[in-house]
Amino acid sequence: MPCSDSSSSIDIQFDPKGRFLAFDFAKITCGREITAKTGYSEYCKGKKAEHILKLTYNEVARGLKLEKEDEQFILYLEWDALRSALVQYLGVEDDEIDTDRCHITSIEETEKGTTVALVILPPKELPKIMACGMVDKPSA
């Protein structure tokens, strides 16, 4: 299932205090749209962007207990896209995150909070999908 032939879009919502509320993620691949249904948005809800940037993929995958290969793949795309988008939005540097592939298309601020829309080019590397039994085990 993993492919790196297209870009993604992500819309991120923050509350007025800068806490993460939710994101909408979509990737167009092989002629169909893949959307986020892994629970990652809910997992991040209420956290500051800086905290979300520190979450590792394995930590999130274990926390969400995703066992299917396609769920793990979609989670990786979400995790990678959200981190890339947050680094771009915050204007911080992280040697592990390629900010050149992330482009902000709009920022809207209202009394309800801030919404940031971005387009993200495919990641250079895709993850090794964990075997079902590895999801519950901590990484070394």
**Span 73-102, average pLDDT:** 85
CA-to-CA dists, residue 43 to 30, 87, 99, 108, angstroms: 28, 19, 23, 24
How far apart CA 129 and CA 126 sit, in angstroms, is 9
Q: What is the CATH number of the domain that holds 72?
A: 3.90.1010
Q: Which two tokens stand for residue 64?
A: 């969400």
Residue 1 covered by a domain: no
Residue 140 covered by a domain: no
Note the pLDDT of residue 19.
Answer: 95
The model's pLDDT over 37-61, given as tens digits with 9 standing for 90+, comes to: 789 999 999 999 999 999 999 999 9
- Identity at 22, one-letter amino acid code: A
pTM exceeds 0.85: no
Residue 3 covered by a domain: no
Residue 100 covered by a domain: yes
Q: Which helix (H) or strand (E) holds 57?
A: helix 57-64
* Band of pLDDT at residue 133, cut at 50, 70 and 90: very low
Residue 139 covered by a domain: no
Domain that holds residue 57: 8-134
Note the pLDDT of residue 62.
Answer: 92
Counted domains in the chain = 1
